[in-house]
C-alpha cells in the first residue's frame, strides 16, 4: 500500500471512530479488519497486483452499480455484519491474495499479513494523536478485530506450487500456517486487542475454481481438498483454545464458515438459490478474480441472487447475507 494513501485511510478511520454516533449506542467502538479478498474493500486498488477488481462487472449490484474493489457483485459478509448505527467504522487492512504465508502474498504483490500489522501500528499512533492516549487505548481495547486468511494460501499457493506440495503434506503446511496464526494473535494481543474473530477455511473443494482445476471432471466437491480444509480448521480451533488459556482476557472466536457455505452448495434451493456449481461471472468456472472476470467475459448471468458464487472463488452478495447471519450469531461471544 502506498504510504501516503495508508496514512489517509488511517486518519479517515480514526476520525470516523470519533465522530459517528454516541458511545452509549455502540456495541463496539471500532471494527479492525485484516486478511484476504474475502474482506478486502478496495486496498488492492492501490497495488501493482493482478488481484484487483476495481472494474465492472464487480460491484454491479450496488445502487450506483460502481465497482469498489470488493471481490463481489455487492456487499461482503463483513459489510453486512459491521454496519448500521450500532457499529462505528474502524480500519480495514485486508488485501486480496494475502494470507498467513507472507512469501505467497509478496509474490502476488499483495499486502502480507505482517505488513498489515505494521499498518495497524500506524493506525494506533494516528488514533492517539486524534483522540488522546486514554481514549485511544479504550477504543483499541474494546474494538472488534476480524481476520480472514488461509484461502489464498491453499488455492493460489499450495495446490498450484509443485515445489511446495512436494516438500510439505497438506497437514504439515496447515501446521505452518496455524503457527503463523498463533503468532499473529499474540502480536495483536500485545498491541491491545482483546476481542478477535477469525474465519475458518470454507469448503475449498466446493469452490467452482477448485472443482474445475482439481476435480478432474468429477461431479460435486473435491473431497480431498475439503478434507484438507477441515484438517486446518481443527488445528486452528485447537490453537485458539490454547491461546485463550495463555493470554488473560482474550476473547477469540473461530467463525465457522465451512458449514454454512457447504450447506448452501449442497442444498442451494433450500436457501433460494438456483446454481451452486459455478459462479455468475463469465463461465463461472475459472474466473478466479481480476481480469478473468470483466465486462467482456462471456455468459455472465443476469441475476446474481440465484448464484451462490459471484466468480469462481467468491460468494455472491446474496450468499454473503447467509454467511453474515451465521457470523452474527457466532460472534455474540465477542460482545
The phi and psi torsions of 158 (rounded to 5 degrees) equal -60, -50
Beta partners for 33?
Answer: 92, 146
Candidate list 37, 95, 148, 200, residue with the active-site label: 37
138 part of the active site? no
| Helix (H) or strand (E) segment spanning residue 97 | none
Beta partners for 307?
Answer: 275
Nearest alpha carbon to residue 157 among 171, 172, 173, 141: 173
Quote the CA–CA distance of 114 and 106 in Å, as a whole number. 11
How do the residues of the chain divide into helix, strand and coil, expressed in percent and rounded to 5?
Answer: 50, 10, 40
Whose cell is 465492472? That residue is 56
> Do the beta carbons of residue 205 and residue 223 sit within 8 Å?
yes
E strand segments, 162-270: 195-199, 251-255
Residues 6 or more apart whose CB falls under 8 angstroms from that of 192 comprise 124, 137, 140, 141
314 part of the active site? yes
37 part of the active site? yes
Q: Grid coordinates in use for 101?
A: 504465508
Cis ω before 57 (30° cut-off from 0) = yes
E strand segments, the chain: 31-35, 91-92, 144-148, 195-199, 251-255
Phi-psi region of 32 (alpha: psi -120 to 50; beta: other; left: phi over 0): beta
Candidate list 6, 311, 312, 316, residue with the active-site label: 311
Q: Report DSSP state, residue 307.
A: B
Residue positions annotated with a catalytic role: 37, 311, 314
Amino acid at each position: 500500500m502506498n504510504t501516503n494513501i495508508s496514512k489517509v485511510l488511517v486518519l479517515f478511520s480514526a476520525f470516523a471512530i470519533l465522530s459517528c454516533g454516541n458511545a452509549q449506542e455502540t456495541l463496539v467502538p471500532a471494527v479492525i479488519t485484516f486478511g484476504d479478498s474475502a474482506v478486502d474493500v478496495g486496498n488492492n486498488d492501490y497495488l501493482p497486483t493482478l488481484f484487483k477488481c476495481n472494474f465492472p462487472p464487480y460491484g454491479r449490484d450496488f445502487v450506483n452499480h460502481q465497482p469498489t474493489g470488493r471481490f463481489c457483485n455487492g456487499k461482503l459478509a463483513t459489510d453486512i455484519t459491521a454496519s448500521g448505527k450500532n457499529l462505528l467504522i474502524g480500519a480495514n487492512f485486508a488485501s486480496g491474495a494475502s494470507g498467513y504465508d507472507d512469501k505467497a502474498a509478496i509474490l502476488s504483490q499483495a499486502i502480507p499479513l505482517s505488513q498489515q500489522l505494521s499498518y495497524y501500528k500506524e493506525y494506533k499512533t494516528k488514533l492517539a494523536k486524534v483522540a488522546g492516549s486514554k481514549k485511544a487505548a479504550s477504543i483499541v481495547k474494546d474494538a472488534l478485530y476480524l481476520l480472514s486468511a488461509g484461502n489464498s494460501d491453499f488455492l493460489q499457493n499450495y495446490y498450484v506450487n509443485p515445489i511446495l506440495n512436494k516438500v510439505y503434506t497438506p497437514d504439515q503446511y496447515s501446521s505452518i500456517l496455524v503457527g503463523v496464526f498463533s503468532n499473529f494473535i499474540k502480536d495483536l494481543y500485545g498491541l491491545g486487542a482483546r476481542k478477535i474473530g477469525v474465519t475458518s477455511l470454507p469448503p475449498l473443494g466446493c469452490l467452482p475454481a477448485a472443482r474445475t482445476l482439481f476435480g478432474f471432471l468429477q461431479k460435486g466437491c473435491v473431497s480431498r481438498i475439503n478434507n484438507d480444509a477441515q484438517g486446518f480448521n481443527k488445528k486452528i480451533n485447537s490453537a485458539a483454545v490454547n491461546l485463550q488459556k495463555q493470554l488473560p482476557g482474550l476473547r477469540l472466536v473461530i467463525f465457522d464458515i465451512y458449514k454454512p457455505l457447504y450447506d448452501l452448495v449442497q442444498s442451494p434451493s433450500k436457501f433460494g438459490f438456483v446454481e451452486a456449481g459455478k459462479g455468475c461471472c463469465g463461465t463461472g468456472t475459472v474466473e478466479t478474480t481480476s481480469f478473468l472476470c470483466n465486462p467482456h467475459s462471456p455468459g455472465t448471468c443476469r441475476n446474481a441472487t440465484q448464484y451462490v458464487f459471484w466468480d469462481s472463488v467468491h460468494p455472491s452478495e446474496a450468499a454473503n447475507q447467509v454467511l453474515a447471519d451465521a457470523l452474527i450469531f457466532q460472534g455474540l461471544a465477542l460482545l
